[in-house]
Amino acid sequence: MRIAIYGGTFDPIHIAHLIIAEYAFAELSLDKLIFIPSFSPPHKLSVPMTSPNHRLHMVKLAIAENPKLNVSDFEIIKQGTSFTVDTLIHFSGHFHVQKKDLYLLVGADNLLDFHLWKDPEEIVRLAQIAVANRPSFTLSNARLTDYVVVGAPLLDISASMIRKRMQQKKSVRYLVPPKVEEYILQHGLYQ
Protein backbone atom coordinates (compact mmCIF):
# COMPACT_ATOMS: atom_id res chain seq x y z
CA MET A 1 0.00 0.00 0.00
CA ARG A 2 1.32 3.45 -0.98
CA ILE A 3 0.22 6.29 1.30
CA ALA A 4 0.71 10.06 1.38
CA ILE A 5 0.30 12.16 4.49
CA TYR A 6 -0.85 15.72 3.76
CA GLY A 7 -0.71 17.79 6.93
CA GLY A 8 -1.47 21.43 7.54
CA THR A 9 -3.72 23.86 9.33
CA PHE A 10 -6.27 23.88 6.46
CA ASP A 11 -7.69 27.13 7.81
CA PRO A 12 -9.64 26.79 5.55
CA ILE A 13 -9.03 24.00 3.07
CA HIS A 14 -9.27 25.38 -0.48
CA ILE A 15 -9.22 24.21 -4.07
CA ALA A 16 -5.43 24.41 -4.43
CA HIS A 17 -5.10 21.86 -1.57
CA LEU A 18 -7.55 19.59 -3.36
CA ILE A 19 -5.90 19.91 -6.75
CA ILE A 20 -2.50 19.13 -5.23
CA ALA A 21 -4.00 16.05 -3.55
CA GLU A 22 -5.59 14.88 -6.80
CA TYR A 23 -2.36 15.26 -8.76
CA ALA A 24 -0.28 13.63 -6.01
CA PHE A 25 -2.66 10.67 -5.90
CA ALA A 26 -2.11 9.97 -9.60
CA GLU A 27 1.56 10.91 -9.95
CA LEU A 28 2.70 8.96 -6.88
CA SER A 29 0.45 5.97 -7.68
CA LEU A 30 -1.12 6.17 -4.23
CA ASP A 31 -3.64 3.85 -2.65
CA LYS A 32 -4.51 6.37 0.06
CA LEU A 33 -3.97 10.08 0.66
CA ILE A 34 -4.70 11.30 4.18
CA PHE A 35 -5.32 14.93 5.09
CA ILE A 36 -4.22 15.57 8.67
CA PRO A 37 -5.35 18.90 10.12
CA SER A 38 -2.91 19.95 12.80
CA PHE A 39 -3.95 20.71 16.34
CA SER A 40 -1.26 23.31 16.99
CA PRO A 41 1.54 23.64 14.42
CA PRO A 42 4.88 24.63 15.98
CA HIS A 43 5.48 27.45 13.47
CA LYS A 44 2.09 29.06 14.20
CA LEU A 45 1.90 28.90 18.01
CA SER A 46 1.29 32.66 18.30
CA VAL A 47 -1.06 32.87 15.31
CA PRO A 48 -4.80 32.79 16.02
CA MET A 49 -6.46 29.83 14.31
CA THR A 50 -9.94 28.53 13.83
CA SER A 51 -10.78 25.72 16.24
CA PRO A 52 -9.37 22.32 15.22
CA ASN A 53 -12.87 20.83 15.07
CA HIS A 54 -14.05 23.45 12.56
CA ARG A 55 -10.95 22.86 10.42
CA LEU A 56 -11.41 19.09 10.58
CA HIS A 57 -15.07 19.38 9.62
CA MET A 58 -14.25 21.62 6.64
CA VAL A 59 -11.74 19.03 5.36
CA LYS A 60 -14.37 16.30 5.73
CA LEU A 61 -16.86 18.38 3.73
CA ALA A 62 -14.27 19.17 1.04
CA ILE A 63 -13.31 15.55 0.37
CA ALA A 64 -16.63 13.83 1.07
CA GLU A 65 -17.31 13.03 -2.59
CA ASN A 66 -13.81 11.79 -3.42
CA PRO A 67 -13.28 8.20 -2.22
CA LYS A 68 -9.52 8.44 -2.91
CA LEU A 69 -9.06 11.06 -0.21
CA ASN A 70 -9.22 10.51 3.54
CA VAL A 71 -8.94 12.64 6.66
CA SER A 72 -7.52 11.76 10.06
CA ASP A 73 -8.12 13.49 13.37
CA PHE A 74 -4.91 11.96 14.80
CA GLU A 75 -3.20 15.27 15.63
CA ILE A 76 -6.41 16.82 16.93
CA ILE A 77 -7.12 13.92 19.30
CA LYS A 78 -3.45 13.85 20.37
CA GLN A 79 -3.57 17.62 21.05
CA GLY A 80 -0.46 19.58 21.95
CA THR A 81 2.05 20.76 19.40
CA SER A 82 1.75 18.87 16.10
CA PHE A 83 5.14 17.61 15.00
CA THR A 84 5.36 15.92 11.60
CA VAL A 85 7.88 13.35 12.79
CA ASP A 86 5.45 12.08 15.47
CA THR A 87 2.66 11.79 12.92
CA LEU A 88 4.87 9.87 10.49
CA ILE A 89 6.00 7.48 13.24
CA HIS A 90 2.35 6.82 14.06
CA PHE A 91 1.18 6.25 10.48
CA SER A 92 4.19 4.21 9.35
CA GLY A 93 3.48 1.85 12.26
CA HIS A 94 -0.29 1.90 11.86
CA PHE A 95 -0.14 0.95 8.16
CA HIS A 96 3.09 -1.09 8.44
CA VAL A 97 4.69 0.84 5.58
CA GLN A 98 8.32 1.53 4.85
CA LYS A 99 9.82 4.66 3.33
CA LYS A 100 9.36 3.43 -0.24
CA ASP A 101 5.58 3.40 0.29
CA LEU A 102 5.10 6.45 2.53
CA TYR A 103 5.12 10.04 1.27
CA LEU A 104 4.96 13.32 3.11
CA LEU A 105 3.24 15.86 0.85
CA VAL A 106 4.36 19.45 1.46
CA GLY A 107 4.27 22.80 -0.29
CA ALA A 108 7.50 24.21 -1.73
CA ASP A 109 7.46 26.96 0.90
CA ASN A 110 7.92 24.29 3.60
CA LEU A 111 11.22 23.14 2.12
CA LEU A 112 12.85 26.48 2.88
CA ASP A 113 12.76 25.86 6.63
CA PHE A 114 12.57 22.07 6.65
CA HIS A 115 15.96 21.90 8.38
CA LEU A 116 14.37 23.70 11.37
CA TRP A 117 11.60 21.11 11.84
CA LYS A 118 11.74 18.68 14.73
CA ASP A 119 14.04 15.79 13.74
CA PRO A 120 14.21 16.34 9.95
CA GLU A 121 16.64 13.42 9.58
CA GLU A 122 14.04 11.05 11.05
CA ILE A 123 11.36 12.49 8.77
CA VAL A 124 13.40 11.67 5.65
CA ARG A 125 14.26 8.25 7.07
CA LEU A 126 10.55 7.46 7.49
CA ALA A 127 9.05 8.95 4.33
CA GLN A 128 9.76 10.22 0.86
CA ILE A 129 9.16 13.94 0.55
CA ALA A 130 6.74 14.94 -2.21
CA VAL A 131 6.73 18.66 -2.97
CA ALA A 132 4.02 20.71 -4.64
CA ASN A 133 5.34 23.88 -6.23
CA ARG A 134 3.83 27.15 -5.09
CA PRO A 135 3.85 30.50 -6.83
CA SER A 136 6.69 32.78 -5.68
CA PHE A 137 8.75 29.90 -4.24
CA THR A 138 11.72 28.37 -5.92
CA LEU A 139 12.91 24.90 -5.01
CA SER A 140 16.52 25.83 -5.80
CA ASN A 141 16.72 27.63 -2.43
CA ALA A 142 15.83 24.50 -0.44
CA ARG A 143 18.49 22.77 1.66
CA LEU A 144 16.75 19.43 1.22
CA THR A 145 17.59 17.91 -2.16
CA ASP A 146 16.05 14.44 -1.92
CA TYR A 147 12.43 14.94 -2.93
CA VAL A 148 9.99 14.27 -5.74
CA VAL A 149 8.01 17.11 -7.32
CA VAL A 150 4.25 16.80 -7.80
CA GLY A 151 3.38 18.59 -11.02
CA ALA A 152 0.12 20.24 -9.96
CA PRO A 153 -0.86 23.54 -11.60
CA LEU A 154 0.40 26.63 -9.80
CA LEU A 155 -2.57 28.41 -8.27
CA ASP A 156 -1.95 31.56 -6.29
CA ILE A 157 -4.55 30.72 -3.66
CA SER A 158 -3.85 30.67 0.06
CA ALA A 159 -5.88 30.20 3.21
CA SER A 160 -4.73 33.63 4.43
CA MET A 161 -6.10 35.22 1.24
CA ILE A 162 -9.43 33.47 1.76
CA ARG A 163 -9.61 34.59 5.41
CA LYS A 164 -8.86 38.16 4.33
CA ARG A 165 -11.57 38.07 1.67
CA MET A 166 -14.06 36.81 4.24
CA GLN A 167 -13.11 39.62 6.65
CA GLN A 168 -13.67 42.10 3.83
CA LYS A 169 -17.04 40.47 3.10
CA LYS A 170 -15.88 39.46 -0.39
CA SER A 171 -16.87 36.27 -2.17
CA VAL A 172 -14.80 33.10 -1.83
CA ARG A 173 -16.90 31.20 -4.34
CA TYR A 174 -14.76 28.87 -6.47
CA LEU A 175 -11.82 29.32 -4.05
CA VAL A 176 -13.24 26.76 -1.63
CA PRO A 177 -15.66 23.91 -2.30
CA PRO A 178 -19.33 24.98 -2.08
CA LYS A 179 -19.96 22.95 1.09
CA VAL A 180 -16.95 24.56 2.77
CA GLU A 181 -18.17 28.04 1.80
CA GLU A 182 -21.59 27.20 3.20
CA TYR A 183 -20.03 25.93 6.44
CA ILE A 184 -17.88 29.08 6.80
CA LEU A 185 -20.93 31.32 6.37
CA GLN A 186 -23.15 29.19 8.60
CA HIS A 187 -20.65 29.32 11.46
CA GLY A 188 -19.54 32.91 10.93
CA LEU A 189 -15.89 31.95 10.49
CA TYR A 190 -13.26 34.51 9.48
CA GLN A 191 -15.60 37.46 9.99
Asked whether residue 151 is domain-assigned, the answer is yes
What integer pLDDT is reported at residue 136 of this predicted model?
75
Asked whether residue 139 is domain-assigned, the answer is yes
- Residue 47: which residues within 8 A CB-CB, separation 6 or more? none
Asked whether residue 19 is domain-assigned, the answer is yes
Asked whether residue 190 is domain-assigned, the answer is no
Domains: count for the chain? 1
What CATH number has the domain bearing residue 19?
3.40.50.620
Asked whether residue 36 is domain-assigned, the answer is yes
Convert the pLDDT of each residue in 52-68 to its tens digit.
Answer: 999 999 999 999 999 99
Domain that holds residue 143: 3-155
- For 68-105, the three-class secondary structure string (H helix, E strand, C coil) is CEEECCHHHHHCCCCCHHHHHHHHHHHCCCCHHHEEEE
Asked whether residue 163 is domain-assigned, the answer is no
SS3 7: strand
Convert the pLDDT of each residue in 42-51 to its tens digit.
Answer: 876 667 899 9
CA distance 123 to 110: 13
pTM for the model: 0.94
Convert the pLDDT of each residue in 14-26 to its tens digit.
Answer: 999 999 999 999 9
Asked whether residue 180 is domain-assigned, the answer is no
* Rounded percentage of the chain residues whose pLDDT exceeds 90: 83
Asked whether residue 98 is domain-assigned, the answer is yes
Convert the pLDDT of each residue in 100-151 to its tens digit.
Answer: 999 999 998 888 889 999 999 999 999 999 999 887 777 777 778 889 999 9
CA distance 169 to 130: 35
What integer pLDDT is reported at residue 144 of this predicted model?
83
Strand order through the sheet with 3-8: 69-71, 32-37, 3-8, 102-107, 128-132, 148-150
- For the segment 86-94, the average pLDDT, to the nearest whole number, is 97
